[in-house]
Amino acid sequence: MSDQSKLIWFNGKIVPWEEAQIHVMSHVLHYGSGVFEGIKCYSTQNGPVIFRLDDHIKRLFESGEKYGIIIPYSVDELIKACLDIVKLNGFENCYIRPIAFYGYDTLGVHPKNCPVEVAVASFFWGAYLGEDGLTNGVNITVSPWKRLSLESFPSSTKASGQYLNSMLAVQDARKRGYDEALLLNQDGFVAEGSGQNIFIVKDNKVITNGENASILMGITRETIIQLCHDLEIDIQIMDITHEMLLNADEAFFTGTASEITPISSVDDSSIGNGKPGEITLKLKNLYLDIIHGKMSQYTHWLSPIQCTNDLTPSVAE
């Protein structure tokens, strides 16, 4: 990976990228027994900031608790690890990946005494669905794969193994020439993309689905709901049918990596006029202003890199 960082925070130490290794018999490799987060750092006129860092790390711990993965560090320690690793790698804009997982002790499905290992990496990652898609909208397809049931998994967690469901969906979509997949849930309602929440707009009302739709409760999703309230845009949380999506005036994905990505068509059927809509663009532009530090009333969502302690951790020998 040409855009990889030089250093990774790994089990409490800063180590070179190539030295952050685990054993091939680690429990996580065999059973997907890990939880993770995706977080973004953005440049501002006052230096780089991380968007909603505290919320992401708190969700990491919540995901771990639901799977019995007890992270052996505090929330504050991992917040500082994210700040430190961005600072040490010298990034202005980057993606941050904290992950906690079971290492090696047993290959039984029950992890028993497997140690919980934790890593935080940062690296450059461009527009998740491409710069053109971010600007002009993406073409998506309804996946033949259903979103995993909340009766089978705690679907609101970001767990490693659960993303096999997303991988199948996006592989199928790309093979058929689409930018992204849209998964329906077990009841036939719209769930989410392979790594994004979804919103539609109809008659100037913004609609998104809720936890019962078997979705990840996305932090970007939560941000957009709050922005709708702040802008006095009518926002409703309800089940979304396939028909509602096809008849929407606008539609867009949200996610840390995807940010606010307009949806131009579903299975070659245009959404509205096939171009990003007025409300989509209004929310997207406000979101971009917020993450780049241009809106003072939202600075509580931004963690400045320069606020790391002066005691910068040394690289492990």
Write out the catalytic residue numbers. 158
For the chain, the three-class secondary structure string (H helix, E strand, C coil) is CCCCCCEEEECCEEEEHHHCCCCCCCHHHHHCCEEECCEEEECCCCCCEEECHHHHHHHHHHHHHHCCCCCCCCHHHHHHHHHHHHHHHCCCCEEEEEEEEECCCCCCCCCCCCCEEEEEEEECCCCCCCHHHHHHCEEEEECCCCCCCCCCCCCCCCECCCHHHHHHHHHHHHHCCCCEEEEECCCCCEEEECCCEEEEEECCEEEECCHHHCCCCCHHHHHHHHHHHHCCCCEEECCCCHHHHHCCCEEEEEECCCEEEEEEEECCEECCCCCCCHHHHHHHHHHHHHHCCCCHHHHHHEEEHHHCCCCCCCECC
